[in-house]
Chain A
Amino acid sequence: MTQPAGWWRRDKEGTGIWPHRGKVAITGWGQSPVDRRWDGVSMDKTLGAYAMYAAKMALDDAGLKPEDVDGLICCPDSMAGATGGSSAVWAPRPYFEAPYDSEDGLTIVTGGWLQKNMPGLTNLKYNPEQVPAIGEQMGMAAQAVAEGLCQVALVVYTAGNLQGRYRMGGENAGDTVSGNAQWTSVYGQAGLGYTTTGVMQEYCQKYGTTWDDVLAPVVVNEHINGLMHEWSYYTLHEPYALTIEDYKASRFVTYPMRLFDNDRPVNAVGAFIFTTAERAKDMKQKPVYVLNHTGGGGGPLRSSAPTLVEMESWVDRAARMGYEGSGLKPSDVDIFNPYDGYSPFLPISLESFQWKGAKKGDAKDFFNGDITVHGPFPHCSGGGNLGVGRTRTAMYIDGIEQLRGMAGERQVTTRAETAICAFAPGGSAAYLYLSNDITS
């Protein structure tokens, strides 16, 4: 079956409540170990091996077998490679015995590869290609189940990292630049981290504050929360709490953006099970229902550099779309796990979503208040990418665990009935709205 590109994407205002609100549920999650990089030789630590690990964990969590899965949504959009991730020259490489005889299974995982190599995935009727990254992938899964394309969807998100440094290959390593880069890279502006820094500088000017005053406390809090996942990169490899002093002593990447404002690239895979609310009733865990999902967002830049006004308008719009389709108001949202892959997204999303009543310019005071998981304003209780590494899964896993009441050490002491989760870099509108109660 073929649908038009982006058929599943909910990216318009004024369309009312999502017609499938509460009719789809997440019933399982899984997460592989989180390594800094794939070493190029360990076959049990490839993205393919980790995809099977995470998928099995998610299925076990839901009480399902691979044979129960009829929809598989993999995102083979590799973060590794010349223009994406690490720039080391690693391909073409000498390959290995099947199934590791190409990049597929090593540094990307397509739906075809996983179907062929994961035992029991024999009943797939929906296995699309061209799947977006996890933010919109989660919405796509919800929509696919809602529309009956499949009954049990397995979402697999692969985050690859190899030797070498991020995005220093390709054109960035050359003498000439073309396309949009002729307006940016000529001066050294080479991506979202740079534009985000500029936007945050504008934020500090506009609201009369400083980078460290706004961001140090929220970054530190994320690291504390991240250490409360048993699987996070920092828990496994660097189990030390970050302090405000550590943050302020850290080196600059793009002054005033510091090292700890950037998420740590890792090699890991996460998996999630989506199914109908009806089938979810009989599964192992308490269902976490999908109230809405949104996608798209951002927009053509007015000029060379995005401005604070643009960024705020994009995220404001994402919030309006999400609240409209979910039927929630800001005061209804208990768990808030926005995207933090660069820390300056956090003040913007806090204020646009008006979480716990935050208004424009409030983030500094908010983040300097009690945002710990056991306090009244448990912001980013999942620790985000900054707290666990760039798996892009912590936001979703935490939302699910908090709503199940199974977040362990991280369980909030406030009400935990609704959650917003996101992988929404820049002006992206990729947010997911969850609830453990659809009776009201």
Chain B
Amino acid sequence: MPKPIPVPDELSKPFWDAANEGRLVIHHCKDCDTLQHPPRPRCRDCGSENLEWKEVSGKGRISTCMVIDDGRIGRMHPDQPFNLATIILDEDPRVNMYSNIPGVPVRQAPEGAAVEVFFEEVSPTQKVPEWRLVG
């Protein structure tokens, strides 16, 4: 489905570049071993600037899933109603990301279900992480 195209900035460019290569990377603090997403100039927990990008497994589960019946994003209006789920990562449940869980009919996304990442093309030059049910 058409999605708005993210415009990378200095901080987020490695994330979006990795997505184009089919890899999910998350900001990692080398000082306190914390993952944080979205990326920030400093560690959310200890304030360190000693941060790196770490590839994660791309496994997670659905925390919650609502349905956008009447949303605000023009590009997505033709696809209403669609899922809007929050995915929490297996590596750290404090890290969450949004997903439309493509292929799962609305109101049928099972909360708690295992999902894995894949990458969806939103423009000829940009892919974004998406998530699908495992099994």
By a beta-carbon cutoff of 8 Å, the part of chain A in contact with chain B is: 166-168, 171-191, 194, 197-198, 201-202, 205, 251-257, 300, 302-305, 307
Give residues 1-41 of B contacting A (CB, 8 Å): 3-9, 12, 16, 36-38, 40
- B128 — which chain A residues lie within 8 A by C-beta? 186
Check if B133 is an interface residue, CB within 8 A of chain A.
no
Give residues 53-105 of B contacting A (CB, 8 Å): 63-76, 81-82, 84, 86, 94-100
The complex places the Cα of A142 from the Cα of B26 at a distance, in Å, of 45
Contact residues on B (Cβ < 8 Å of other chain), bracket: 35 or more
Given contacts A177-B6, A201-B64, A303-B95, contact A188 B84 (CB under 8 A): yes
The complex places the Cα of A76 from the Cα of B62 at a distance, in Å, of 41
In the assembled complex, 15 residue pairs joining A and B whose CB atoms fall closer than 8 Å, in A order, are: A168-B72, A174-B4, A175-B4, A175-B75, A176-B4, A183-B37, A185-B73, A186-B4, A194-B68, A198-B63, A198-B64, A251-B69, A253-B70, A303-B38, A303-B96
**Distance of A208 from chain B, by nearest CB (Å):** 13
- B12 — which chain A residues lie within 8 A by C-beta? 182
**Distance of B96 from chain A, by nearest CB (Å):** 4
The complex places the Cα of A430 from the Cα of B100 at a distance, in Å, of 34
- B64–A178 touching, CB < 8 Å: no
How many pairs of A and B residues are in contact by the CB < 8 Å rule? Answer: 131
By a beta-carbon cutoff of 8 Å, the part of chain B in contact with chain A is: 3-9, 12, 16, 36-38, 40, 44, 63-76, 81-82, 84, 86, 94-100, 106-107, 111, 122, 128
The complex places the Cα of A174 from the Cα of B123 at a distance, in Å, of 14
Determine the residue in chain B with the shortest Cβ distance to A175.
B5
- A303–B4 touching, CB < 8 Å: no
The complex places the Cα of A251 from the Cα of B5 at a distance, in Å, of 29
Enumerate the 8 nearest inter-chain pairs by beta-carbon distance, A residue then B residue, closest first: A255-B67, A182-B6, A187-B98, A178-B7, A201-B64, A190-B72, A177-B4, A252-B69
**Distance of A246 from chain B, by nearest CB (Å):** 18
- A186–B6 touching, CB < 8 Å: yes
- B66–A255 touching, CB < 8 Å: yes
Given contacts A173-B74, A186-B3, A303-B95, contact A254 B122 (CB under 8 A): no
**Distance of A299 from chain B, by nearest CB (Å):** 10
**Distance of B13 from chain A, by nearest CB (Å):** 11
- B8–A182 touching, CB < 8 Å: yes
Determine the residue in chain B with the shortest Cβ distance to A307.
B96
- A189 — which chain B residues lie within 8 A by C-beta? 84, 98
The complex places the Cα of A189 from the Cα of B73 at a distance, in Å, of 8
- A186 — which chain B residues lie within 8 A by C-beta? 3-6, 98, 122, 128
Determine the residue in chain B with the shortest Cβ distance to A253.
B70
**Distance of B8 from chain A, by nearest CB (Å):** 7
- A194–B84 touching, CB < 8 Å: yes
The complex places the Cα of A166 from the Cα of B96 at a distance, in Å, of 27
- B95–A177 touching, CB < 8 Å: no
**Distance of A206 from chain B, by nearest CB (Å):** 11
Given contacts A179-B9, A300-B44, A304-B37, contact A198 B69 (CB under 8 A): no
The complex places the Cα of A189 from the Cα of B68 at a distance, in Å, of 8
The complex places the Cα of A292 from the Cα of B9 at a distance, in Å, of 42
